[in-house]
Structure 1
Amino acid sequence: MIASMPRGRAFFLAILLSISVLSYWSFDSHIRPAFSSAASGFYPPSPQVPADHTVDTTFGSDGASILLVSAFFPLSKSKHTMNDYNTWLALFLKPITTPIYFFTTPEMAPMIRALRGDLPITINTTYASAFETAPLLGLEDDAAAIHWWRKIYYAYHDAYLRQGVFVGKDQPLINAIMMLNPKRFISVWASDPAPQLSSSDHGLAKRAESSPLGLCGANWYYYEFFLASKAEQAAMADQWNKEWSSMLTKFRPWKGAWWTGNLATEGRGPCRVTRVMAMEKLFRRVLGDGWNAPPSQIYH
């Protein structure tokens, strides 16, 4: 004979199971998506394009048609495979229905056309370099800085390799060169804890939970916002605000706009444009006013 479970224990077990089911549903439906959205501010996400995503072929209230101009000229040496470029180009060529005018080499033309499919595209294989095309022709500047960078980069690369201190990543090497030659570099520091903002309305940005510059998404892509037009910056800042509002409501519903009335008053201001800084000035802010770059022992 099997003894029955006491009524009190059975009731307690039922409550516990109910709470477990609700917790699982709440995490999977609300917390997990919100956490994924929050984490995107720390790690740059891989581009994802919905299968049914399309882009309108008109722009502006007058309905005028637009033509997108782009180019792809493969490097003679690249750390990425052609399959990588194929994947990235597909994210651009497949979902966008707007007519495209595309510069590339004769060897790449079949791949570009295959990725584009039946969508409108004009492929120009006349030029051997992107700098020879009409949009970029005449915009070239003195290449002295590029030649200097190439020489010093490989000088330190080879020296560190011989010494057994090169770890296979270019970032530490770049950091060393910048610290040894700070007068040659400028920077835009998206995580500057004390930014000199271009906007006088900076009170909200100072208290922003995303960064000192406000709700700016992943730091990895701040340069895109910095280089964009004012209209594009305003549109992107508005989008980031909406994404943050949605995520915040899921994490802390009592902090949502439906409760407070206005998220901006809680210190989550829109993304701001910061200023360009000389690297030497930046180093002295962090390391002290008396800091000077150490002498270079490898390349002068």
Structure 2
Amino acid sequence: MFSPLLHGPRTFKSTIYLFVFLIVLYLIYIETTLPGYNRRLTTPPNHVSSSPSTAPPLALKPTSPPAEPRILLVSALFPLAKSKHSHEDYENWLGKFLKSITTPVYFYAPPSLSSMILSLRGSLPIYINTTFNSPFDISPLRGLENAYEHFHTIDREASYHNPELYAVWNAKPWLLDSAIKHLEEEKGEVYDYAFWNDAGSFRYDHVYTEWPNPSRVEEVWNIGVERVVEAGGFTESRGKMKNHLLFFPFTGMFGWAKRYWKEDDGPVDMDISEGSFFGGSPSTVSWWSETYYIYHDYYLRKGYFVGKDQTLINALFLLFPERVFGIWLDNPDATRIGIPGFDVGSMGKCGPPWWYYQWFLADGEERSVMSEKWLKDSNDYKSWLWQGWEWWNQRQECRSTRVFWLKDKLLGVFGRGWTVNRNVIV
């Protein structure tokens, strides 16, 4: 018979506690007497053995770099009855464009020029559209010959302009937009960016090939978006903002007095925009083309001179600055450390200022090669003229200017309260 003391509540609890205590002591004894106890105790808790593992390595999914944007260049050549440049000049300039630039090209020309263009292009990608014999054949300009003849009578530069040249200039937005749409509809080819490039814009020797360089274009657009964000103009997703921006090179900037310009004041006859190169996403190119001809026709009806595309572009800059970004070689906001005031250019030796954008949008290695070439040519030319004046003869390599968002630039010039009321397109 069991003792009644062992059945009491207090005695039962004590027995349980004693039993648990003995088990804990036993486990401690077993743990501390196992082989290798001291080694495991002194091993840092986060130590990872360097001995080869017999387990198979984890299979990492390979990551591919993001695809470069697809870029299309669009250009045209229509013979003029009267031109500042000869046929030989244009053939020479075309060769520097078509023989060297590997980017796909969509080219408008009359049938009489197609064989020459194909010969210059060789095996590089090109699509030639021979539908139009004259820029007056495109839909926005059809039937405007008489109006453009009148423009020639009021053009302050009539001595070296003519009605056909006005038509060539004003055809660019439509030709660019039409090329993008045609390739997508007929060929199934879709591009991320498309640019108008004047046929005669490559006038000097260069080393550019894949131009404008896709990675550089992407970089410039990303900087453009950052400029919008920095200025507080960020109201949509970055992707949408990037898709809405239109790139233009600038040759100057509006003065303070233009803050009083109004929509009905018409085209702005100043050296601001460059019409030889511009572009963006397909949707932005379409917007630009539609907007351009709406205001072209509006100002034409009001009797304004709209023969020179730059003057109309300048007006659109004032009306839609939020859609435009670009570069300006002489931008005072650009960093110029180490460039003396007597240098050949505000950003060093950069070749012809009008075509600075060609260098700016090129691959980094090609920019370096061209910078060295320009610097060598400049120093070689001046060495005989300024012997003993090395401090004067020395020039700086070409540098990148600052990308800017036009709306922010204009607010800085005109004042933060500046705006232009739009009535034609709200």
Question: Matches of residues 73-88 of structure 1 in structure 2 within 5 Å?
Answer: 81=80, 88=90
Question: Matches of residues 268-287 of structure 1 in structure 2 within 5 Å?
Answer: 268-287=395-414
Tell whether the 8 Å contact from 2:329 to 2:347 is kept in structure 1 after alignment.
yes
* Counterpart code for 2:325: I
Question: Matches of residues 251-262 of structure 1 in structure 2 within 5 Å?
Answer: 251-255=385-389, 257=390
CA distance in 2, matches of 1:212, 1:249: 21
Question: Matches of residues 211-222 of structure 1 in structure 2 within 5 Å?
Answer: 211-222=345-356
1:212-268 deviation digits (Å, cap 9, x = unpaired): 21111222111111111111111111111122223433554442x4xx5x954xxx3
Q: Which residue number in structure 1 is paired with residue 373 of structure 2?
A: 239
Q: Which residue number in structure 1 is paired with residue 334 of structure 2?
A: 195
CA distance in 1, matches of 2:420, 2:106: 44
* Counterpart code for 2:297: D
Question: Matches of residues 31-180 of structure 1 in structure 2 within 5 Å?
Answer: 81=80, 88-91=90-93, 93=95, 110-112=115-117, 121-122=122-123, 131=183, 137-140=189-192, 143-180=282-319
CA distance in 2, matches of 1:168, 1:287: 28
CA distance in 2, matches of 1:86, 1:296: 45
Q: Which residue number in structure 2 is paired with residue 60 of structure 1?
A: none
CA change 1:79–1:101 in 2 (3 A) is closer
Q: Secondary structure at the match of 1:205?
A: coil
Tell whether the 8 Å contact from 1:205 to 1:272 is kept in structure 2 after alignment.
no
Question: Matches of residues 13-28 of structure 1 in structure 2 within 5 Å?
Answer: none
CA change 1:102–1:89 in 2 (3 A) is farther
CA change 1:127–1:184 in 2 (3 A) is same
CA distance in 1, matches of 2:359, 2:311: 25
CA change 1:209–1:230 in 2 (3 A) is same
CA distance in 2, matches of 1:72, 1:276: 21
Q: Secondary structure at the match of 1:188?
A: strand
In structure 1, list runs of 5 or more residues that go unmatched: 1-70, 197-201
1:21-48 deviation digits (Å, cap 9, x = unpaired): xxxxxxxxxxxxxxxxxxxxxxxxxxxx
Percent sequence identity over matched residues? Answer: 25
CA distance in 1, matches of 2:95, 2:410: 42
* Counterpart code for 2:425: Y
Q: Which of 322, 332, 343 is the aligned partner of 1:209?
A: 343
Q: Which residue number in structure 2 is paired with residue 43 of structure 1?
A: none
Q: Secondary structure at the match of 1:207?
A: coil
Q: Secondary structure at the match of 2:338?
A: helix
Tell whether the 8 Å contact from 1:204 to 1:214 is kept in structure 2 after alignment.
no
Q: Which residue number in structure 1 is paired with residue 423 of structure 2?
A: 297
Q: Secondary structure at the match of 2:300?
A: helix
Tell whether the 8 Å contact from 2:359 to 2:367 is kept in structure 1 after alignment.
yes
Q: Secondary structure at the match of 1:173?
A: helix
Q: Which residue number in structure 2 is paired with residue 39 of structure 1?
A: none
CA change 1:235–1:148 in 2 (3 A) is same
1:167-211 deviation digits (Å, cap 9, x = unpaired): 521111101111111111001111112314xxxxx5222535222
Tell whether the 8 Å contact from 1:216 to 1:222 is kept in structure 2 after alignment.
yes
Tell whether the 8 Å contact from 1:104 to 1:123 is kept in structure 2 after alignment.
no
* Counterpart code for 1:293: T
| Cα displacement (A) at 1:143 | 2.8
CA change 1:109–1:125 in 2 (3 A) is farther
CA distance in 2, matches of 1:150, 1:293: 23
CA distance in 1, matches of 2:127, 2:410: 46
Tell whether the 8 Å contact from 2:375 to 2:397 is kept in structure 1 after alignment.
yes
Q: What is the TM-score normalised by the length of structure 1?
A: 0.54
| Cα displacement (A) at 1:269 | 1.4
CA distance in 1, matches of 2:75, 2:401: 33
1:96-135 deviation digits (Å, cap 9, x = unpaired): 999x99988995653346x56xxx9448888876857xxx
CA distance in 1, matches of 2:387, 2:298: 56
Tell whether the 8 Å contact from 2:371 to 2:398 is kept in structure 1 after alignment.
yes
In structure 2, list runs of 5 or more residues that go unmatched: 1-71, 130-178, 194-280
Number of equivalenced pairs: 206
Tell whether the 8 Å contact from 2:322 to 2:406 is kept in structure 1 after alignment.
yes
CA change 1:278–1:80 in 2 (3 A) is farther
CA distance in 1, matches of 2:99, 2:284: 39
